Structure 1
Amino acid sequence: MDLTHLDSLLLELTDSERAYHAGARYDWNDAFSWGHQQGIGEKHIHKIGDPTQALHQEGMPEGLSIVRNSRFNPVPEHVHDYVEISYVYRGHAPQVVNGEQLTLAQNEVLLLDAACPHAVGELGEHDIMLSIVISRPMLHRSLEQSLSPSSTVSQFLINALNDETDHRGHVHFRTVNSRRVRRYMQEMLCELLEPTAASPQIVSRLFELLLVELMQSYETSLLQADMPRLPSAQVAAAVGYIERHACDCTLEDVARHLHLSPNYASALLKRQSGRTFMQLVQESRLTRAATLLDAGSTAEAAAREAGYANMSFFYKKFAERYGCTPAAYRQRLPR
């Protein structure tokens, strides 16, 4: 299927959309009648979407389906029994997520955990929004195949698989300029509309690639100039962790502690502190060694406890930091 044909198919009005455009309104009480209300805080929100039907679709892998949202038909606030990814193929899509109003632009993605209350505003004729519905087993398989366990996105997915959490989280991916997100979605849609025997396997791999791209796009956006203040707190936590574990910590340890990927943790530290991970480690180790020397330790004992196995390297770094040898540093300290 070529992409021009795909676009035309997605823009075609269904019979129900023609009816909504003419003024008819969908009776959401029918959708709620087989569901039940979900308690969220002090209010009750209806649960809609039957997972036994929503997670089975020709051409799709078991546990994943893709549906196009009806236009001219707003969807009231609700929750699901599954994780959902909203994707705007064309136009825009107004949303209310956990009481917050937001608008998804073309090529943007919204990842919603099962119990996250959300509503969708009325879509116009040229607004095309798709929903990817995902079961927990499908998420588990995709997570194992595609994502670093310490990344922001994989932590969200791990949370979605955890029965002990309240599942009200969401992540807004500002992927307007991501060519990969659009290509992966287009290819999945082509498999959906013209399925073959290989379509489930193809879609599974494309979905894994989509998750990887979302992870990278999200972490890149946090490093842009307009990043929120939250990373400052993350840097403080990272520096504190390095100071406590300087003798043996690795970048992977810090990233895991903060639930970030190593690449993002490294870039975040450099951007916010002006120093690399190794520079921060060296500073903490040398500070620790100086404290031990002050307390009466020998240079060898101080180096070993601070995490240095190579004494020549320790002497070099100590001299760069303090302008003298460890022995001279001890001699000039008041006793």
Structure 2
Amino acid sequence: MDIQDVDPFLRSINEFERKHWGQPWLLQHTGDIYVNDKISESFFFKTDQHIAINKHPRFAIIPEHRHEFIEMSYVYSGTLTQTINNNKITLSEGQLIILDTNVAHSIEAAGENDIIINCLMRKSYYDSHLIHRLAGNNVLSEFFVNAVYKSQEHSEYILFPSQSSPRVRSFMTELVREYYSSDICSEEAIGSYLVLLFTELLRLHKDANAGSETDSVKRTVNMADIIHYMESRYQTIDLTSAAKHFHFHPNYLSKIIKDHFGQSFIKVVQDIRVKKASLLLKNTDLNIAEISEHVGYKNIHFFYKNFKERFRMSPAEYRAVHRNH
């Protein structure tokens, strides 16, 4: 897909939209999309896919629902009206909203000129790719830390004043082009455009809210820095050295990590290690003992135990499943 093909693609009426034209209530009766009140991830994501980009379906009422992924919606044309946590919000052309996980929201039927681009991100993507890049940036750091680690306690959204930003429109258009073109290195290009997009959104939000930072946001920035530190030193990190780096008492660092993650410092480190190991199992030919040592385990039996707790299968089974896929 070339860049000039994006606009005709977005404005074309697909089969799903044609089905609901004049019958917006039909979506409420499609059982293959919803599991209880949550949208099934499998409806949007393929196995091991971390990002999905699609055009919001026009002419259909989307009933109240939740989902376990972050949803970013950009109004390419027209308007978008949602009810989020019982608050009705209408976005105009050029505006962008990011919804946290588990946010209850419904969407009114969009008209023919209401073109919305949705970018959906699994937790595994922003957990391993975005958090450390956003360390030190207040607004999105707070939002993504809460989305990943406290999703059951927070139900939030951020609305960005991006209607006058040609850069946001350009980045969103490029994301659509890359996603549907499947050119070489498209995944890498999509990741790069997302980082550029978030950088622009941070700047817009900062300009619109200059001088209004709260102490709670500043505290969360420190938490994002801690996550980054743990992600980058997971192989050898311990509580004492981490506390010394941030000029905290070990007991205090242990407490704030427990408050944010809901588990101890060592359990968080173990979770990081086994997730790094899962990537090595999928993408390298290192044997399991080498992987165990590489991610920081001195005892391979302890590695097997933690890995199975996290993924419900052994390292060898995990590798076989993902290699076959």
* Equivalent residue, structure 2, for 1:47: 38
The CA deviation at 1:175 is 0.5
Q: Given that residues 67 and 130 in structure 1 are in contact (C-alpha distance below 8 angstroms), is that contact kept between their aligned partners in structure 2?
A: yes
Displacement, 1:56? 2.7
Secondary structure at the counterpart of residue 87 of structure 1: strand
Q: Distance in 1 between matches of 2:33 and 2:171?
A: 36
Q: Residue in 2 aligned with 1:320? A: none
Distance 1:92 1:7 in 2: 16
Amino acid in the other structure paired with 2:89: L
Native 8 Å contact 1:98 1:118 kept in 2: yes
Equivalent AA in structure 1 for residue 20 of structure 2: Y
Q: How far apart, CA to CA, are the structure 1 residues paired with 2:207 and 2:50?
A: 29
Q: Pick the structure with greater CA Rg.
A: 1
Q: Tell me how far apart the structure 1 counterparts of residues 219 and 24 of structure 2 sit (CA, whole Å).
A: 53
1:104 to partner: Cα distance? 1.1
1:100-127 alpha-carbon deviations (Å, 9 max, x no partner): 1111111211111111111111111011
Mapped partners of 1:24, 1:108: distance in 2: 24
Q: How does 1:269-280 map to 2 (within 5 A)?
A: none
Q: Are the aligned partners of 1:145 and 1:208 in contact in 2 as well (CA < 8 Å)?
A: no
SS at match of 1:26: helix
Q: Confirm or deny: 8 A CA contact 2:24 2:61 kept in the other structure.
A: no
Partner of 1:11: 11
User: Structure 1 residue 166: deviation in Å?
Assistant: 1.8
Q: Compared with structure 1, are the counterparts of its residues 158 and 24 closer, same or farther at alpha carbon in structure 2 (3 Å cutoff)?
A: closer
1:63-94, Cα deviation, whole Å (9 max, x unpaired):
10011111111211111111111111111111
Alignment partner for residue 145 of structure 2, among 158, 165, 173? 158
Q: 1:165 and 1:6 mapped to 2: Cα distance?
A: 37
Return the alpha-carbon distance in structure 1 between the equivalents of residues 46 and 140 of structure 2.
25
Is the 1:153–1:215 contact (alpha carbons within 8 Å) kept by the matching residues of 2? yes
Distance 1:194 1:99, change over 3 A: same
Measured in 2, the distance between the counterparts of 1:33 and 1:171 equals 25
Mapped contact 2:135–2:221 kept (Cα < 8 A): no
Q: Secondary structure at the match of 1:31?
A: coil
Partners in 2 of 1:160 and 1:171 — Cα distance? 12
Is 2:190 the partner of 1:203? yes
Aligned match for 2:114, one of 118, 127, 134: 127
Residue 193, structure 1, aligned to residue 180, structure 2: yes
Matches within 5 A, 1:1-335: 1-23=1-23, 25-31=25-31, 35-36=35-36, 46-48=37-39, 50-56=40-46, 62-144=49-131, 146-163=133-150, 165-223=152-210, 231=212, 234=214, 256-257=218-219, 259=221
Q: Say if 1:146 and 1:209, in contact at 8 Å, map to a contact too.
A: no
Q: CA deviation at 1:215?
A: 1.4
Deviation for aligned residue 1:163: 4.1
- d(CA) in 1 for partners of 2:194, 2:43: 20
**How far apart are the structure 1 equivalents of 2:75 and 2:141?**
22
The TM-score with structure 2 as length reference comes to 0.62
- Cα distance in 1 between the residues matched to 2:162 and 2:43: 30
CA contact (8 A) 1:105 1:176 kept: yes
Query: What SS is found at the alignment partner of 1:89?
Result: strand
Gap change, CA 1:207 and 1:150, over 3 Å in 2: closer
Structure 1: tracts of 5 or more residues without a match: 37-45, 239-254, 261-335
Q: What value does the CA root-mean-square deviation take over the aligned residues?
A: 2.6
Q: Which runs of 5+ in 2 are unaligned?
A: 223-325
What is the CA–CA distance in structure 1 between the aligned matches of 2:151 and 2:19, rounded to whole Å? 43
Residue 184 of structure 2 aligns to a residue in which SS?
A: coil
Percent identity at matched positions? 23
Partner SS, residue 72 of structure 1: coil
Q: Which runs of 4+ in 1 moved over 4 A?
A: none
Give 1:141 shift: 3.1
Given that 1:68 and 1:131 are in contact with CA atoms closer than 8 Å, whether structure 2 keeps it comes out as yes
Rounded Cα–Cα distance in structure 1 between residues aligned with 2:220 and 2:67: 29
Alpha carbons of 1:52 and 1:131: their partners in 2 closer, same or farther (altered >3 Å)?
same
Total equivalences in the alignment: 222
TM-score by length of 1: 0.60
For 1:175-196, what per-residue CA distance to the aligned partner results, in whole angstroms no more than 9, with x for missing partners?
A: 1011221111111111122111
